[in-house]
Structure 1
Amino acid sequence: MNKLVVFFVVVALAYSMAAPVSDEAIARRRNLPALHQEEHRDDFGQYALRYITAEGIFFSERGRLIPTPDGKDHVMAVEGEFSYIGKDGKKYHKKYTGDFEGFQISEEI
């Protein structure tokens, strides 16, 4: 019985996330606190962040020091990704990097 209840809850949640979302519903969710939040930093400035919000936004980013091509210094290289549910009810997902080759973003749906 418990498995059946869990199944219907998951189906209802998936259906509600796939349906178009009204501006009013988005505004109500934006007032809610983050569902999950992690932040890790070290003494050198390297970091890892991760957030999940009630409105369906996922964000993750990592910054790490890498040596310059000449090996004399270090710079912060950044890589991350985020996803969100658009007003059309579709989930959009993007990944990005920032390093010696500039800032690059890839879009996935």
Structure 2
Amino acid sequence: MKCILVFACLSLALCLAAPAPEAEIVNLASEVNADSYNYNFETSDGTKQEQHGSLKNLGPEEDALQVAGSFSYVGDDGQTYSITYVADENGFQPQGAHIPQAP
């Protein structure tokens, strides 16, 4: 009886430690220019991301990179989580239904 319990525990531990199958890229596109870029990709596990960036003139001899994009993924709970964001001179500003909002 003791051997069966030990075997069952070891089997469970091995199953939980097994690596998840790797996702494959099913779509990929990108374009890089001197003053802007954009890219998007999608993987076989449902992950998607797109982003575009460009230089923004903040004043004489002062440029900043302005980035906007989105990504989504399927969580361990089976729910799809989506984020849209802007990153500029004001910092990273994400938005998503599951992100708590400040009062």
AA paired with 1:64? S
Number of residue-to-residue matches in the alignment: 82
AA paired with 1:36? N
Matched, 1:54 2:55: no
Matched, 1:36 2:53: no
Higher strand share: 2
CA distance in 1, matches of 2:54, 2:97: 24
The answer for unaligned runs of 5 or more in structure 2 is 1-15, 99-103
AA paired with 2:45? E
Q: How does 1:77-92 map to 2 (within 5 A)?
A: 77-92=66-81
Counterpart in the other structure of 1:27: 20
Counterpart in the other structure of 1:94: 83
State the percentage of identical aligned residues: 24
Shift of 1:74: 1.6
Q: Higher RCO, 1 or 2 (CA under 8 Å, sep at least 6)?
A: 1
The answer for unaligned runs of 5 or more in structure 1 is 1-22
Counterpart in the other structure of 1:108: 97
Counterpart in the other structure of 1:73: 62
AA paired with 1:41? V
Higher helix share: 1
Matched, 1:63 2:53: yes
Alignment deviations for residues 45-98 of structure 1 (CA, whole Å, 9 cap, x no partner): x21010100010000011111111x34322110111100011111110001111
Structure exhibiting the larger radius of gyration computed from Cα positions: 2
Normalising by structure 1, what TM-score? 0.67
Q: Structure 1 residue runs of 4+, over 3 Å off?
A: none
Normalising by structure 2, what TM-score? 0.70
